[in-house]
A and B are shown apart, each in its own frame.
Chain A
Amino acid sequence: MEIAVLVKPVPDAETRLRPDAGGSGLDPEGVKWVLAGYDESAVEQALLLKESIPGTSVRAISYGPLARAEEVLRFAIALGCDAATSVEQPAGAPDDPLVTAAALHLALSKRAVALVLCGKQAGDDETGLVGPALAEMLGIAEYGVAVNVRWDAASSALTLQQSVEGGLVRVRASLPAVVALQQAWNDPRTAKLPNILKSRKAAIERMPASEVSSAIATVQALAARRLAFRLPPPRTGAKMIEYKSPEEAAERLVRILREEAKVFP
């Protein structure tokens, strides 16, 4: 069977973010794009499933500006995905989870995919909507915040554990399905150097912007409009306490909390 894993390029955590000239979006200049953290967990789960189910292949799919999408797809191939599809974001298309879901739906509707894995949310906008919206468009079930996914050959179904308030629930899910991953229990693997080299030359299937435009036309009208993009104000007011002993530090802290911050009388 074919497993699809959805991968989103997000700014690297070490990148310094800046608003663009219009003040409503991120200035892409100098941004390093990497695979979103939860998506990396999704790739890891997809590869573990591939290793446990004979005859399974994994296709990574990414929607976004071509160069960005292909960078994370090559990373996914280096990790062990068998194939990749890049869905080109038309110029001017809004960054909106419903639009993203519609674009990915176009790529998925052309393939017989039994299982779609994705991160429960992306590390940039954190909407957590793409998985559920895509499942709705595909007309299949969605399972969120999964921490691990196993294939039960006897019942030909998935068993997955979902993280809920204060614990875990174990669920049996039949296919097809969309499963959104929480941080996986097992650390995502590191790509091997020879695989990184091979991934640079791997062929990537492309869905051109022209094709994507018509697929997203309807939902695009519903897309949320981003009004402003600002960085949080720089933190101020930190106060260093000079002290010689822990007792003195505690005493000064209490005095500041009481007299300056007025946290308690």
Chain B
Amino acid sequence: MVDFALTSEQTSLRDMARKFARTEMAPHAAECDRAGRFPDEIYRKAWELGLMNLNVPTEYGGTGLALFDQCLIVEELAHACAGMTTSIIANCLALEPILLGGTEEQKHRILDPFCAEYHLASFCLTEPSGGSDAGSLKTHARRDGDHYVLDGEKCFITNAPFASLYTVFATTDPTLRHKGINAFVVSRDTEGVLPGKEEEKMGHRASATSTVRFEGARVPVANRLGADGEGFSIAMRTLDQTRTPIGALATGIAQAAIDHAAAYAKRRHTFGKPIAEHQAIQIKLADMTQALRAARLLTWEAAWTIDHGERGSLESAVAKCFASDAAMRVADEAIQVFGGYGYMKEYPVEKLLRDAKLAQIYEGSNEIQRIVIARELLQRYA
């Protein structure tokens, strides 16, 4: 049966996330954005409250939520600050390969101590020479006895400067293309693991992004996830899981944009009445609301599909792509509703546009999402 009503458990999870977002994150969002500050104390608190490792089952020390419930939480967090949310959910992205490809022994050995304390992890797929074409990685893994030796560079890696654990995708044989790729769990302590300095970014400035270089880093074979050559499949299945929460993040940005725009439209007067009474503004708000609600429902549908055991490549690509495009449009229109004030950093809406932009790029650009959608679609017409 289709049912759009949340259970009382889901309502309490969402309310808790909303409270955290409004009391702990929102008051610091503008300051962290301006200064490009990584608010470690907020992330630590998020971990304490169980908001960090949402996808990790409780038996390994995580919160163990269904994807749908994760999305409810991510939307609330992103409403307060998408940048902080990116850093909070980066652990889900980095740990998902372990959940998908790890043995029981690996999961307990790696996740139990990781989740028991405040730790950050990074997902290292993208390289300077290209992110979209993940099959042609250059980072090299050479087998040496019971170790692999990693050499190469990753870029745009979320939380990399502060992470204690990296899931790294590298090739043992570039001529094999995606069949030569393996996934490794690499501890920050490993010699030859060198995170770079934080990048200056357009948005998500409360999150930290940097390169990670591997110079002869020795990783035990016991830290390879899955069978030899399974790395590419693990990466793609990971993104199938984690794309949908990006739809939720974009939905949170769009909701924030509408909340600001509607309140401002009722407050701001021109020509003797609130601008909310001019039909041009009403039409904007109506269109923004349609985009928001469609984004949320597509996100919910994708999460629901995956929670029901399907891979959901099409649904999650649709959700991520549509919601991030919607967030961009809605944030853009919110600025327009604010007029000149919308363009000023003193007001909250220009940040939303800068933040929404990233959702169209990371976890697979929207061009790549459209390729996935078309491929899935055309397969059905074989």
Binding site for B on A (CB under 8 A): 71, 74-75, 78, 187, 190-197, 199-200, 240, 242
Bound-state CA distance A187–B20 (Å) is 13
Chain B residues contacting A195 (CB-CB under 8 Å) are 50
Q: Beta-carbon contacts of B62-87 to A below 8 Å, as 1s and 0s? A: 01110000000100000000000000
Majority SS at the chain A contact face: helix
Chain A residues contacting B361 (CB-CB under 8 Å) are none
**Whole-angstrom distance between the Cβ of A165 and the nearest chain B Cβ:** 30
Instruction: Please tell me if B234 contacts chain A, counting CB pairs below 8 Å.
Output: no
**Whole-angstrom distance between the Cβ of B275 and the nearest chain A Cβ:** 13
Chain B, range 67-113, C-beta contacts under 8 Å to A = 73
Closest to B46 in A: A193
Please report the number of residue pairs spanning A and B whose Cβ atoms sit closer than 8 angstroms: 44
**Whole-angstrom distance between the Cβ of B21 and the nearest chain A Cβ:** 11
Chain B residues contacting A199 (CB-CB under 8 Å) are 12
Chain B, range 11-31, C-beta contacts under 8 Å to A = 12-13, 16, 19-20, 23-24
**Whole-angstrom distance between the Cβ of B314 and the nearest chain A Cβ:** 30
Closest to B51 in A: A193
Is the beta-carbon distance between B12 and A192 smaller than 8 angstroms? no
Is the beta-carbon distance between A190 and B12 smaller than 8 angstroms? no
Chain A residues contacting B19 (CB-CB under 8 Å) are 190
How many of chain B's residues have a CB under 8 angstroms from any CB in A?
A: 20
Is the beta-carbon distance between A197 and B9 smaller than 8 angstroms? yes
Is the beta-carbon distance between B269 and A194 smaller than 8 angstroms? no
Is the beta-carbon distance between A192 and B49 smaller than 8 angstroms? yes
Is the beta-carbon distance between B63 and A193 smaller than 8 angstroms? yes
- What would 14 more interface pairs be, CB under 8 Å, given A191-B16, A199-B12? A71-B8, A190-B19, A190-B23, A191-B12, A192-B49, A193-B16, A193-B50, A194-B63, A196-B9, A196-B13, A197-B9, A197-B63, A200-B12, A240-B269
Chain A residues contacting B8 (CB-CB under 8 Å) are 71, 200
Closest to B50 in A: A193
A to B CB contacts below 8 Å, 27 in the list: A71-B8, A74-B12, A78-B12, A190-B16, A190-B19, A190-B49, A191-B12, A191-B49, A192-B48, A192-B50, A193-B13, A193-B16, A193-B49, A193-B51, A193-B54, A193-B63, A193-B73, A194-B58, A195-B50, A196-B9, A196-B16, A197-B9, A197-B63, A197-B64, A200-B8, A200-B9, A240-B269
Chain A residues contacting B269 (CB-CB under 8 Å) are 240, 242
Bound-state CA distance A190–B269 (Å) is 39
